[in-house]
Amino acid sequence: MKKLKSLFIACMVFSSLAAIGQAENSLSMKENGTFEIPSTELKEVYSLDISSLDLESFETAIEFFSEKNTDLVMFRPNADGTAATVFLQVREKPQWTVSDWNDAISDINLLDL
């Protein structure tokens, strides 16, 4: 029983750390349809809240984001339509800072159809 309790506590700690790590990689869309990387520590993968886009289906979301993909930024919507994973092609521009990436993504407007 003591091992089970220890295992449960360990699982809770690791899941909490994972949730904290995920929150640090979260992006929000602004009212004007743009988004930016808020931190000074650049990541290759972020989660973007897209719930306000009200996309009708997963297929619609895939089609929508396929038109938003660039050589440097790729989007993959989640099946539930509330978030999209944003992949920055950091290997293509290893010298870029967060500011450089924000300049590059500033042209991506998620409200433009």
* 91-112: pLDDT as tens digits: 999 999 999 999 999 999 999 8
* 43-92: pLDDT as tens digits: 999 999 999 998 989 999 999 999 999 999 999 999 988 999 999 999 99
Question: What pLDDT is stored for residue 3 in this prediction?
Answer: 56
Q: 35 burial class (0-12, 13-18, 19+ CB within 10 angstroms)? A: buried
Question: What pLDDT is stored for residue 33 in this prediction?
Answer: 93
Question: What pLDDT is stored for residue 2 in this prediction?
Answer: 59
Model-level pTM? 0.75
Question: What pLDDT is stored for residue 93 in this prediction?
Answer: 96
* 6-19: pLDDT as tens digits: 444 443 434 333 33
What DSSP string describes 55-80? -SSHHHHHHHHHTT--SSEEEEE-TT
